[in-house]
């Protein structure tokens, strides 16, 4: 049977704009940012865009006005606008799972209407938010008591992937706004060390576990949840204690009940929320517990502001669209393999890890919506570390290595922790790094400093290394919402251009199935022979060594 849900599309490489970009690339690939800036003094103020306080400088890219025009034409020929409308109106654009893609509904204000399968989903979203808020208030105020009557002091979120990375990232990012007498821990890895270290100094009487899993079947989360139950009951003794110390966040009511959590203590969400797009659903319960319902609503308002910008702003002023198109430009024409995300804010230390799932689980795809193998590159590898730490480790390669690595610098004009001149020094590094990467240092400049001839090549910076600089007034809950939505929609833009499904993740399945089978084989002592010679040998060596 043929796939009738895939939109009829002209293959990407046959689009007029694509062909024009190929020709254009030839003329621009050797142009240097030094010349582009010298010949166009307004470039640094012109090639910028702003949405609700999020300022994007994209002037330090290897582009001209013509590049942007052609990329915008590509977006148009790819139907980006109508794909945006399809997503926002609840069409089932995740065709391989037959699901709508509606993380934008999670932050839609009361009164908006988004219909899926004949039902407006916005009221349900707010019902869950209100329940989360009531619960959070009770825990934060100490009114919610553990089984032995003690107030909750520790909150442990057990989840993995989207049920962990968003919560951890948001907790770290918004720690400044968090209730400091509550301790938050996040357990994700099936490696028992994660659970043991996260709970070793906690008292079960004062600890609340959030079991966060969309499906409530994920091996890691279920294994950790069972260990948590054993850990809690070892001290609390009575099954009845579970109701006071365990809550669930899931779409799977049946599975939650099977685990023994009362559905009165369950916060739901829906199959139209992808795991990696779920930090603003009930999966954000730990975030709400940390920062409080009001701040959580501000976070949602930030997401919504960026959603509206993406939905309504013309593409030439549309931050997520521009960022997405520039990623396509480097990935497909310059053959850049990675993007470095470099937040200059310690609170954003987990932001690159969060973005890795968002970007790579979304766009790490090799077939189009209609199932054809792509004949172009798709999702690049995202990676990064907060500045300035990265400068003293991998920036050498970005400056002088042989690979082209587009960078996203993210900085804030005001710090949440004023301390002497730390913040100016931090931000000086943002501006300096982007400048150094773009303009470099010529051999003449190096020589003029009196450098010995033999040393000159080693000290030359070729420059012409592209970057975005994203400047935000302050790291508030709203700002974090805007930043995350900016990347979500940039990822969407890329996926539309590449004609792939950014919302499924079949690529994680095979390993899961094989691990389950091997898990059974590890149970006994007998020699394993069912695999290839390498896998058999490794399994058997492991069995021998573990005893």
Query: What are the residue numbers of the active site?
Result: 361, 392, 512
Q: Which of residues 272-301 bind ligand F6P (CB under 6 A)?
A: 275-276
d(CA 462, CA 459): 10
Give the count of alpha carbons within 13 A of 469, CB side only. 24
What is residue 109's DSSP assignment?
P
How many other C-beta atoms can be found within 10 angstroms of the C-beta atom of residue 502?
29
Q: What is the CA radius of gyration of the chain?
A: 25
- Binding marks (x or -) toward ligand F6P, 328..367, rule CB under 6 A? ---------------------------------x------
Measured at CB, which residue is nearest to ligand F6P?
Answer: 275
- Among 83, 214, 245, 423, indicate the residue that binds ligand F6P (CB under 6 A): 214
Number of H helices, E strands in the chain: 22, 13
- Among 215, 338, 346, 370, indicate the residue that binds ligand F6P (CB under 6 A): 215
d(CA 478, CA 295): 8
How many other C-beta atoms can be found within 10 angstroms of the C-beta atom of residue 247?
25
Beta bridge partners of 49: 56
Query: C-beta of 505: minimal distance to ligand F6P in Å?
Result: 5
* The two three-digit tokens of residue 161, written as one number: 């992937």
Nearer to ligand F6P, 12 or 484 (CB): 484
Q: Which helix (H) or strand (E) holds 381?
A: strand 381-383
Nearer to ligand F6P, 70 or 358 (CB): 358
Q: Which of residues 361-390 bind ligand F6P (CB under 6 A)?
A: 361
Q: Write the DSSP assignment of 476-499 as a string of letters.
A: -HHHHHHHHHHHHHHHHHHHHHHT
Query: C-beta of 539: minimal distance to ligand F6P in Å?
Result: 23
Query: C-beta of 421: minimal distance to ligand F6P in Å?
Result: 41
d(CA 202, CA 188): 17
Nearer to ligand F6P, 213 or 502 (CB): 213
Q: Which stretch binds ligand F6P (CB under 6 A): 209-217, 257-265, 398-406, 447-455?
A: 209-217
Q: Which of residues 481-520 bind ligand F6P (CB under 6 A)?
A: 505, 508
Nearer to ligand F6P, 295 or 505 (CB): 505
d(CA 72, CA 74): 5
Give CA separation, 457 vs 374, 401, 441, 454, in Å: 40, 13, 11, 7
Task: Give yes or no for residue 96 binding ligand F6P (CB under 6 A).
Answer: no
d(CA 442, CA 425): 26
Nearer to ligand F6P, 275 or 495 (CB): 275
Task: Give yes or no for residue 161 binding ligand F6P (CB under 6 A).
Answer: yes
Nearer to ligand F6P, 115 or 508 (CB): 508
Task: Give yes or no for residue 244 binding ligand F6P (CB under 6 A).
Answer: no
- Among 36, 101, 160, 480, indicate the residue that binds ligand F6P (CB under 6 A): 160
* The two three-digit tokens of residue 76, written as one number: 């148009």
- Among 90, 146, 162, 284, indicate the residue that binds ligand F6P (CB under 6 A): 162
How many other C-beta atoms can be found within 10 angstroms of the C-beta atom of residue 470?
23
d(CA 283, CA 169): 12
> Is the N-terminal amide bond of 255 cis, ω within 30° of 0?
no
Query: C-beta of 247: minimal distance to ligand F6P in Å?
Result: 15
Q: Which of residues 33-52 bind ligand F6P (CB under 6 A)?
A: none
Query: C-beta of 380: minimal distance to ligand F6P in Å?
Result: 19
Nearer to ligand F6P, 236 or 282 (CB): 282
Q: Which positions lie near ligand F6P, rule CB under 6 A?
A: 160-163, 213-215, 218, 221, 275-276, 361, 505, 508
């Amino acid at each position: 049977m043929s796939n009738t849900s895939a939109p009829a599309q002209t293959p990407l490489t046959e689009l007029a704009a694509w062909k024009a970009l190929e020709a254009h690339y030839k003329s621009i690939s050797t142009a240097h940012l030094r010349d582009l800036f010298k010949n166009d003094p307004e470039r640094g103020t012109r090639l910028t865009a702003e949405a609700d306080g999020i300022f994007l400088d994209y002037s330090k890219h290897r582009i001209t006005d013509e590049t942007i025009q052609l990329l915008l034409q590509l977006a148009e020929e790819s139907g980006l606008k109508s794909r945006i409308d399809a997503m926002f109106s609840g069409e089932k654009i995740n065709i391989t799972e037959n699901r709508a893609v509606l993380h934008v509904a999670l932050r839609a204000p009361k009164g908006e209407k988004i219909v899926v399968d004949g039902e407006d989903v916005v009221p349900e979203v707010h019902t869950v938010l209100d329940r989360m808020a009531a619960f959070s208030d009770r825990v934060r105020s100490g009114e919610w008591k553990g089984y032995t009557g003690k107030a909750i002091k520790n909150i442990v979120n057990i989840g993995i992937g989207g049920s962990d990375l968003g919560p951890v990232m948001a907790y770290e990012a918004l720690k400044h706004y968090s209730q400091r007498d509550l301790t938050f821990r996040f357990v994700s890895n099936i490696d028992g060390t994660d659970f043991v270290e996260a709970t070793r100094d906690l008292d079960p009487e004062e600890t609340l576990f959030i079991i966060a899993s969309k499906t409530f079947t994920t091996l890691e989360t279920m294994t950790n949840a069972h260990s948590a139950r054993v850990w809690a009951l070892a001290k609390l003794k009575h099954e009845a204690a579970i109701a006071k110390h365990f809550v669930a966040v899931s779409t799977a009511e049946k599975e939650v009940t099977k685990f023994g959590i009362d559905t009165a203590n369950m916060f739901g969400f829906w199959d139209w929320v992808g795991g990696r797009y779920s930090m603003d659903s009930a999966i954000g319960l730990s975030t709400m517990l940390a920062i409080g319902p009001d701040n959580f609503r501000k976070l949602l308002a930030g997401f919504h502001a960026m959603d509206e910008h993406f939905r309504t702003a013309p593409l030439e002023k549309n931050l997520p669209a521009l960022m997405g198109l520039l990623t396509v430009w480097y990935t497909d024409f310059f053959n850049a393999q990675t993007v470095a995300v470099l937040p200059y804010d310690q609170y954003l230390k987990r932001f690159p890890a969060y973005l890795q799932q968002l970007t790579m689980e979304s766009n790490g795809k090799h077939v189009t919506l209609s199932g054809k193998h792509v004949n172009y590159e798709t999702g690049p590898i995202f990676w990064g570390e907060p500045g300035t730490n990265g400068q003293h480790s991998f920036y050498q390669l970005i400056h002088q290595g042989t690979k082209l690595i587009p960078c996203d610098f993210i900085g804030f004009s005001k710090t949440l922790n004023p301390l002497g001149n730390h913040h100016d020094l931090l931000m000086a590094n943002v501006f300096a790094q982007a400048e150094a990467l773009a303009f470099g240092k010529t051999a003449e400049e190096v020589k003029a400093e009196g450098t010995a001839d033999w040393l000159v090549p080693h000290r030359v910076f070729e420059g012409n290394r592209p970057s975005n600089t994203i400047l935000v007034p302050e790291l508030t809950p709203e700002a974090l919402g805007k930043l995350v939505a900016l990347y979500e929609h940039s990822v969407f833009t890329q996926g539309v251009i590449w004609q792939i499904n950014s919302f499924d993740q079949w690529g994680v399945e095979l390993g899961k199935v094989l691990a389950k089978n091997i898990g059974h084989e590890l149970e006994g002592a007998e020699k394993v022979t069912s695999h290839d010679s390498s896998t058999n040998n490794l399994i058997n060596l492991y069995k021998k060594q573990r005893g």
